[in-house]
Structure 1
Amino acid sequence: MEPESKAPDDSFNWAGDLELIRSAAREAGRIALGFFGQEPEVWWKNEGRSPVSAADYAANQVLEAHLRPARPSYGWLSEETDDDPARLSCETLFVVDPIDGTRAFIAGKQTWCISVAVVHKGAPVAGVLVAPALNEEFTAWIDGPAMRNGETITVSNPDARQHLKVASAQDMVARFSPALRPRIERVAHVPSLAYRLALVADGRLDATLVLPNSHDWDLAAADLILTRAGGRLTDLDGEALIYNRKSVTHEELCAASGAVWPELVKGLTRISRS
C-alpha cells in the first residue's frame, strides 16, 4: 500500500536528521571528489541507457555506512542500491542519489552533487545537496530556511515584463502558450536535475521543466530546498509529489519561483492536453 502525503510529525527531530545527512553527504562528496577527473571505471545499466561509475558506488557505500546504523528504523531508497519493498512499510526513510549528474561527473564537468533527503509519510522533511567541485552546499529542513553555504536563499521574483530564465528541452519550450513563449529565455542544459532545482531555489533560474521518468532520488532533497526557498515543484496538474510509492518515477514536472509557477503550469497543462 502506498503512503499518503501527510503533514510532518512535530515529535521528530528533523533538524537533527539534517545535521546527520549533511555530515554524511559531505563525506560522500569528499570521497567522490577523489575520483573526479581521474577517469573512474564506468558501467552501463538500464539496458545501456544510464552510466554508473566507481565513484557512485563508493559514495553510496559511505552514505549507507553513516546513515543506516544511525537510524536503523528508517527505510532506504538509493539509485545505487537494489530496491527493497520493505521501504514501503516505513514511515520514514532516507532517499539518496550518491552522485546526481553522473554523466557530467564522467565528462569532467563540475555540475554534479550528492543528494540526500529524509522523507516522512511521503514528504521530504530534511534535505541536503553537496556539490564539492563547485564548493556549494544547499540545505533545508521542514521548519527552517533554505540555505546555500550557510546563507538563506530565496527564489526569484520577476515581474510580468521580464524574461524568464528556464532550463528545459527545446521541444518543451515550444509547448508554452503563445502569449508566454516570447518571455522564455532558454538556458543551457544543466545535467544534474537536483542541482538544476537548486538553481531555481537560489534565483539563478526562474524555472525548469522536467521530462518524464525522473526519480525520487533525483528530486526529494531539492524539492524541499526549493519549497523552503519559496518555490514549487509539481506535476502539470499542479499536484505536489508524493515520495516512497511503489513506483518511484514521475511524469513531466514544473519547478519554478512561486511568482511565476501558476502562469507556467497553466500554459503547459493547456498545451500538453491539446
Structure 2
Amino acid sequence: MSKRLEGKIAVVTAAGQGIGRRTAERFAEEGAKVYASDLDRAKLEGLDALGITTEALDVTDKEAIRAYCERLPTPQVVFNCAGFVHHGTILECDEAAWDFSFDLNVKAMHRILSALLPRMIEAGGGSIVNMSSAASSIKAAPNRYVYMASKAAVVGLTRSIAVDFVGKGIRCNAICPGTIESPSLEGRIADLGKSVGGTDKAREMFVSRQPMGRLGTPDEIANLALYLASDESSFTTGTTQVIDGGWSL
C-alpha cells in the first residue's frame, strides 16, 4: 500500500453499503483515520476491522449532525455520499418527494459542511468530495425529475464552496457517476422489473445504455474519491468528475 492518506482524518457519510462503504474502506486502506456513519448502524458492521470508527447518523437531522460533528476531530477529508434516487417526472413528484430529495441530497451536505468547514479552514484546509450524478447538469435522464434537480444543486454547492475558499486551503470537487452496481441500483432494477417482465430484462435495459457494455463498480468510484481526497489532486478544485463509462457522451 502506498498510504496516500497517511495521517489524514476522513469523514464519510452513507458508509453502510455501495459506494460509501467501499470509499470508507479505501480511505482506511490508504492510511486515513476514518469516521463513517450511516442511518442504519447494522450496515456499518465489519468496518471496525479496518480501524474505522462507526456511528449511526441521520443526516437530515440538524441537531444530530451538530452533536456528531462536535465529537469528531477536525478532518482533512470529507466525503458526502448520502443520497436518494426518486423515480418519476414532475407529475409523480409531490411536495413531500421534492422536500425529502433536496433535504437528503443537498441540505445534508450543507449541514455537514456548515459544522466542519470552519474548523477545516482554521486547521489549514482540506479536501471535500461531494456525490452528485451524471444525471444532473451533465446528462438528462428520463423519469429523474427531482433527482436531477437536486444533483445539479450539488454541483452548484460544490463550485460555490470551491470558489469561496480556494484561498484558504479548501478544495471541493463533485463526483458524477453513471450507473453503478449497488444495493440502490438493485432496488431500482427490482421496481422496473415489475413492469418490463422481470429483473433480468430490467438489468439488460440498464446495461444496454452503457457504451462500454457494462455497469460501473463501487471500487471504481472509490478510487476516484481517493484521488480527490489525496494530495495527488492538490491542483484540482471546483470540478465535476464524470465517471460514467461514456454514458454522457
Interval of TM-score (by shorter of Structure 1 and Structure 2): under 0.3
Q: Which has the higher strand share?
A: 1
Q: Which has the higher helix share?
A: 2
Q: TM-score, normalised by structure 2?
A: 0.25
Q: TM-score, normalised by structure 1?
A: 0.23
